[in-house]
Structure 1
Amino acid sequence: MGRISCLQQLDFEPLPHQIDTAWKVLYPMGGRAILADEVGLGKTIEAGIVLKELQFRGQLNKVLILAPKNLTGQWAHEMRTKFGFPCWVNKREYGWNWHPFVVTSIDLAKRSPHADIIRAIEYDVVIVDEAHRLKNPRSSNYAFVSSIKTKHLLLLTATPVQNDLKELFHLVDLLRPGYFGSFADFQSAFLAGKREPKNPKELQDVLTGVLIRHHRSECAIKLPNRHVHLLPLDLTEPEQALYDAVVDFLRNEFRRRKEMKKSTLGLLTLLREVCSSSFAALGTIESMGLEELIPLAEQIRQNAKAQVVTDFLQHSKEKVIIFTEYFQTLDYLAMHLQALRIPVLVYHGGLGRWTRAMTQHEFQKSDIPVLISTESGGEGINLQFCHQVINYDLPWNPMRLEQRIGRVHRLGQKHDVHVYNLSTRGTIEEHMLDLLQEKIQMFTQTVGFIERLIYSQKSSEKLETHALEYLLDIQAKINQEKAKTKPPSEVSSSFQPVSPPLFLL
């Protein structure tokens, strides 16, 4: 087979694994591949080398890069400065035909009239960043990408499977239709259960024809170590009263909806919110008209998690990024810390592209020690100048957890990274770790090893029942155990970033 000939045209020296990826894409895989390197290993660089090689051969005339809106500027900058491509972030109808090298958000591109114009163009290369967003074949994103005419297709994601193995099938089928045959064929050959592969080694071997994944330990780079600490804490009495009342309501409402065959999705959302903060739960409680729960939520002025974070920050001398899934939690925590004269910056999906860029710049260059981010900060933002992460609440998708940690544990990081996961004792949040562990096991059996995310504990049960039903059942068992035993002795909620870890992986 051939070799990569464009390297002398680059003003930087790519890493060996990045060159290896470009070679595999262009030769064994024929230009259609899932690039699934761990977060921070340079998937953008790998895609850029593929483009540069095709340009070197005279085979690159029309390129489309689809990325989340907040990453389009970053993609354009990388392509211009590192590879010399005349990259254009397009938002206009006329731009699709006019510009040879277009970057845009998938949310814009799939809308009319843009989608029809794009479908009429024959592209040499289409690149989709954060391609795990294409996991649902019934989604508009999936339908749109599958309708684009392109010779080469690169799907970039560090997390090609997140919740169950059906997602992996659909992502591969989008890239190479019929690669696994039908879903029934895939199920028969490779699935022992929803999250359990049959013949994991055989499935991994088959995936090498379409998926490339490098782990940090395999590459010619040495990243600092990752230390993950689990910090269990107790809810305050008012928080516990709200939590118990919410669980009682959810248990009764779940049974009622199940009997009436109605959706229970909104109930699961409330259960997740109340584990984050009373402020995150209050909006949903009000929208559901749960009048008896509103006073319980409104009387809470302090959250136990916020006090733990406050203690941490008062002892810390380094920058810290705090992740939460909920804007209401972010808003409360920011006001709480500012009231204590701890300066903070916030980062969330509602900020414009310029504001997000300025926030990241200010966090790096100023003396402000804290950045609080919602889930939108878990994709695309590079924070390797920071080496402390607090997960205020845990996402129920372990790959989102990896996205968060990967913002700091990536190329350019010079310090050991410390990750602190907050988890409330005696709540379903504590037992969701089992589900996270199960999903991580599924990922490692199919795609490959991932870094430590939670802590060393094997899943104690198979979670084959509906998540809400399972968790409410778990909560009932927790309450029974509480009734049998004395309350645990008080444990200090404060912890310091330089002290020995509480629960090491």
Structure 2
Amino acid sequence: MSFALGQRWISDAESDLGLGTVVAIEGRMVTVLFPATGDNRMFAREDAPLTRVVFNPGDTITSHEGWTLEVELVHDRDGLLSYEGVRGDTGENDTLRETMLDHQIRFNKPQDRLFAGQIDRMEYFVTRYLSQHQRHAMLKNPLRALQGPRAGLIPHQLYIANEVGRRHAPRVLLADEVGLGKTIEAGHILHQQLLSGKAERVLILVPETLQHQWLVEMLRRFSLRFSLFDEERCIEALADCDNPFETEQLVICSLDLLRKKSRVQQALEADWDLLVVDEAHHLEWSESAPSRAYQIVEQLAEAVPGVLLLTATPDQLGHQSHFARLRLLDPDRFYDYDAFIREEQSYQQVADAADALLARRPLSEAEQQALAELLSESDIASELTTIQGGDDGARDVACEALVRELLDRHGTSRVLFRNTRSGVSGFQGRELNLHPMAMPKQYATAMRVNAMLGGGNASQKLMNQLYPEKLYQEFEGANGTASWWQFDPRVGWMMEFLKANRSKKVLVITSKAATALQLEEAMRTREGILASVFHEGMSILERDKAAAFFAQQEGGAQVLICSEIGSEGRNFQFAHQLIMFDLPLNPDLLEQRIGRLDRIGQSRTVQIHVPYLEGTAQYALLRWYHEGMSAFTETCPSGHLLHGEFGDRMLALLSGDQDEAALEALIRATAERNAEHKAKAEAGRDKLLELNSHGGEAAAVLVTALEQADEDTDFISFMLKLWDVIGVAQDDKGENAVVLQPTEQMLFPSYPGLPEDGLSVTFDRDTALSREDFQFLTPAHPLVASGIDLITSSDTGSTNVALLKNKALPAGTLFLEMIFLVEAVAPGEVQIGRFLPPTPVRVLLDKSGKDLAANVSFDSFNRQLTPLNRHTATKLVSASQALLHSLIKQGETLAQEQLTTLVAEAELEMTRQLGGELSRLEALKRVNPNIRDSELDAVREQVSLVSAHLGRAQVHLDALRMIVVTPE
């Protein structure tokens, strides 16, 4: 390299330093000052990562005083350049020496970088082009938000999520039975709303015991980082803001936190987009005396546009409270309880009509007449004719269309979704295995001594019988070794069971963390059984590792031993053996324990094992659950009602001396009441509601589309290539997993979302569901978007020069490949990406200006090219500048024509999607009062905003590559 004092150079590695000036040349070193930042850099003269800045006739340059000059002539005197041309401010001829150039000059435009000699490697150019295409496909994909979460492709969940997540400010009640995934449905909806820009601020209200579960579920499954708020957090936040709720976008807190008037007021003033309330059946209401909790939620529901209420038992506190929850969603629609009851009674006729259509048979005269009356605003004559005399395929289509019209126009189907196990497939059943054992004399002695010492009150006596190992440990003292497991027959039985079932994963749940820890010690020391422990004293990371160790098929733990917290929030449906070392006192906790395995996705019958001590409260409690509630072999949605009605009697019976007659009477009474609840629930099932909630054929279509998207190997190839270019180390971990590690050689200082210690990722949904320590990579994952942004928001890959070896073309033939980007910038809530996301437009010109892009694909062309060293590439660019300037201008004209075409296509698509949606909602509004005016207004406003922003769409050059033909 030839240097002279005063020459202007730019740093190849740090182009943001601006224009540098050579200030010293000493021996083999050269010093460059970058006035824009005040930095000095010293380089070896022979291989300095610098590029000389040389402008050419036709360029416009800026002086350090701010005036511009259009270059006509370039003079080189003793290694320093002078530019002669016409000033932009005065119109007069002038000369500008390179030493007087503006220090702030940045070569951000691809053509400026190319002419300045900032030429990128060929793989960078290719990756930039592929990144633009990937981003375009991601934003256009209507199912991206549904594909992204770490969740199984469960039809009814996906249908509800797709139906509700696309709405403006959705206000619905999610009331699926236990185990059907209300939390997943709510997470899907939140994910869609946040990803689409329809929502930015979300408040989730949950019982205090479920805060951690929600926090983990939202992060692990949906990559949504919520913040937990309690009183302490609110006080700390006051240092940053007068209103603590304004310090975070996504907040989880308990309803108890808002019982303070000051906190309620702050929450009301925080301007949320979505409110989520879990366990909504606890919101008690009567017209004269609504509960404090109900009043708090009512105030928030009035202030927040979108509301999701979750409950597995919508009628738990009575039908009036169920009406009250609907009233929270739409007080104008559900204004009077008596009117609501009358309206419900009319649904039976609609359900009967739906049943007739679902039978896929010709209809009777009475059924046809009923349908005509119910759908009087529509002309259904052709559908009825088809049903009566068409072939099976045509009849199915006609029946499906009329069922959909019925669901659209009648019932509470737009505001209430409820699926039941009887209406959803995918459950394998349960089987109870009882293992009676004699009471060890050590436990009997401990109980007797405890009673003699005055510790024998009724409640304590019950705890001693249910959890005798805890009493025995108290007698041994804090410093004693836990010897109880050496004689407890439940432990011995469990050891033998595990040895006999070495190949099976077994979940063990016990009430106390100390018991779980000691059971693990017993297994390890007595039999060498590989076990993992999971309890409330562990951090989130430790729990993740324990669960992952259990899920690992090769070399993983055979057993996971959980304290009661293990029955909350985690799902282990890859296992089907459950041992209940003891029993909880609440049937809801019992259902939670079983529900960790008995879920959609379980492939085998769940085997429930209950070892118990004969003649103790353990046996009596087991019989009450089993014979009174059928709680082991079936789900028991009325368990909380039965516990509320008979729980005190059962506790009194368990705490006293065993009274067989009283126990038998209690079991009979519980069973009778359980049967009444079941019959009432069955009789009150809203067939219309269930038809609408599981989605039918529409749900199956969604699942098929997402399964196909999961099999997209092009996406995997793209991500591996992207990480290669960025400089992320990739280690194949096996088990469909890759370990990503940042390196010192990365193109960028950091990669948002990639921790310093790295992370494990998988592209396989099944692997992600069984290994919670792996991140599930789909196009919706933040790590994908941040990686694409690193490339596309920088200059990386915006220039390249390559050789084309082709005997059929004359040597020296030149092609210019240009990638333009069509963009319409708009706020997130406008959702411009649905219609016109940033769209790459490729133009491939020969030296005569003919566009070959339509006939020569990027991939096929790229495979014929070979890289060129930078020094030679810079010379070729300099020699071809005049031609390149002309071709770039022609390319811009062609891209502008493409812009017009793309905007017109986007307008048509917007009219088709939003116009169709608006027409449908307006038609439904005339017959279904559940359509809110705000929904219609939101669609109309979106039409207006999209149209306005499309009109302001622009096109700019994003990258370009010069190709020169060379002989083979």
Give TM-score, length-normalised by structure 1. Answer: 0.64
Correspondence for 2:177: 37
Correspondence for 1:471: 654
Deviations 1:151-209, CA, capped at 9 Å, x for gaps: 44334455679xxx559987885675698999xxxxxxxxxxxxxxxxxxxxxxx9999
Deviations 1:83-130, CA, capped at 9 Å, x for gaps: xxx644456636732544x14353996599977643432433222446
**Selected match of 2:511 from 301, 325, 332:** 325
**Selected match of 2:566 from 369, 373, 377:** 377
Aligned residue type for 1:357: D
Measure how far apart 1:474 and its partner are: 5.3
Name which structure has the greater RCO, CA cutoff 8 Å, separation 6+. Answer: 1
Secondary structure at the counterpart of residue 367 of structure 1:
coil
Aligned residue type for 2:304: T
Deviations 1:20-45, CA, capped at 9 Å, x for gaps: 54548999x97241433332x33234
Q: C-alpha distance in 2, partners of 1:121/1:464?
A: 41
Aligned residue type for 1:387: H
List aligned pairs for 1:271-310, cutoff 5 A: 271-279=462-470, 282-283=473-474, 302-310=487-495
Measure how far apart 1:322 and its partner are: 0.5
**Selected match of 2:432 from 224, 228, 231:** 228
For the pair 1:74 / 2:214, whether they are aligned, the reply is no
Measure how far apart 1:476 and its partner are: 4.9
Correspondence for 1:346: 533
Aligned residue type for 2:567: G
Cα distance change on mapping 1:339 and 1:140 into 2, 3 Å: farther
Deviations 1:358-416, CA, capped at 9 Å, x for gaps: 21112212422111101111111121222211011111222212211221222333333
Instruction: Judge conservation of contact 2:215–2:227 (CA < 8 Å) in 1.
Output: yes
Cα distance change on mapping 1:226 and 1:326 into 2, 3 Å: same
Measure how far apart 1:452 and its partner are: 5.3
Cα distance change on mapping 1:450 and 1:115 into 2, 3 Å: farther
Correspondence for 1:198: none
Deviations 1:200-239, CA, capped at 9 Å, x for gaps: xxxxxx99998644234422x4343432222222211222
Instruction: Judge conservation of contact 1:37–1:212 (CA < 8 Å) in 2.
Output: no
Aligned residue type for 1:78: R
Aligned residue type for 2:441: E
**Selected match of 1:16 from 155, 170, 178:** 155
Q: C-alpha distance in 2, partners of 1:286/1:467?
A: 32
Correspondence for 2:273: 124
Instruction: Judge conservation of contact 1:234–1:424 (CA < 8 Å) in 2.
Output: yes
Correspondence for 2:252: 104
Correspondence for 2:824: none
Correspondence for 1:200: none
Q: C-alpha distance in 2, partners of 1:315/1:435?
A: 30
Correspondence for 2:520: 334
Cα distance change on mapping 1:476 and 1:224 into 2, 3 Å: closer
List aligned pairs for 1:185-200, cutoff 5 A: none
**Selected match of 1:312 from 497, 519, 523:** 497
Cα distance change on mapping 1:319 and 1:474 into 2, 3 Å: same
For the pair 1:239 / 2:443, whether they are aligned, the reply is yes
Q: C-alpha distance in 1, partners of 2:451/2:216?
A: 44
Computing the radius of gyration from Cα coordinates, the structure with the larger value is 2
Cα distance change on mapping 1:210 and 1:418 into 2, 3 Å: farther
Secondary structure at the counterpart of residue 272 of structure 2:
strand
Q: C-alpha distance in 1, partners of 2:216/2:485?
A: 41
Instruction: Judge conservation of contact 1:134–1:171 (CA < 8 Å) in 2.
Output: no
Measure how far apart 1:324 and its partner are: 0.7
- Percent identity, aligned pairs only, is 25
Cα distance change on mapping 1:469 and 1:74 into 2, 3 Å: closer
Measure how far apart 1:145 and its partner are: 5.5
Secondary structure at the counterpart of residue 419 of structure 2:
coil
Q: C-alpha distance in 1, partners of 2:576/2:452?
A: 40
Q: C-alpha distance in 1, partners of 2:183/2:294?
A: 21
Measure how far apart 1:332 and its partner are: 2.6
Secondary structure at the counterpart of residue 386 of structure 1:
coil
Deviates further, 298-307 or 398-407: 298-307
Correspondence for 1:502: none
Instruction: Judge conservation of contact 2:535–2:566 (CA < 8 Å) in 1.
Output: yes
Measure how far apart 1:356 and its partner are: 1.1
Aligned residue type for 1:401: L
Residue-pair matches, total: 409
Deviations 1:278-317, CA, capped at 9 Å, x for gaps: 2256549999xxxxxxx9x998852121111112112112
List aligned pairs for 1:248-267, cutoff 5 A: 253-254=457-458, 267=459
Correspondence for 2:887: none
Cα distance change on mapping 1:410 and 1:334 into 2, 3 Å: same
For the pair 1:46 / 2:185, whether they are aligned, the reply is yes
Q: C-alpha distance in 1, partners of 2:530/2:497?
A: 14
For the pair 1:387 / 2:576, whether they are aligned, the reply is yes
Q: C-alpha distance in 1, partners of 2:534/2:195?
A: 40
**Selected match of 2:308 from 138, 148, 154:** 154
Task: Give the gaps of 5 or more residues in structure 2.
Answer: 1-140, 338-410, 637-641, 662-968
Q: C-alpha distance in 1, partners of 2:588/2:221?
A: 25
Deviations 1:426-473, CA, capped at 9 Å, x for gaps: 1122112344358747x9xxxxx98358xxxxx9xx847544322245
Instruction: Judge conservation of contact 1:231–1:421 (CA < 8 Å) in 2.
Output: yes
Correspondence for 1:357: 544
**Selected match of 1:215 from 406, 410, 420:** 420
Secondary structure at the counterpart of residue 475 of structure 1:
coil
Secondary structure at the counterpart of residue 419 of structure 1:
strand
Correspondence for 2:899: none
Q: C-alpha distance in 2, partners of 1:242/1:134?
A: 44
Aligned residue type for 1:231: H
Task: Give the gaps of 5 or more residues in structure 1.
Answer: 1-5, 81-85, 183-205, 255-266, 288-294, 444-448, 454-458, 479-505
Instruction: Judge conservation of contact 1:127–1:154 (CA < 8 Å) in 2.
Output: yes
Secondary structure at the counterpart of residue 273 of structure 2:
strand
Secondary structure at the counterpart of residue 68 of structure 1:
helix
Deviations 1:1-36, CA, capped at 9 Å, x for gaps: xxxxx9544453954322554548999x97241433
For the pair 1:414 / 2:599, whether they are aligned, the reply is no
Cα distance change on mapping 1:249 and 1:353 into 2, 3 Å: same
Secondary structure at the counterpart of residue 557 of structure 2:
coil
Give TM-score, length-normalised by structure 2. Answer: 0.36
Aligned residue type for 2:546: T
Deviates further, 70-79 or 383-392: 70-79
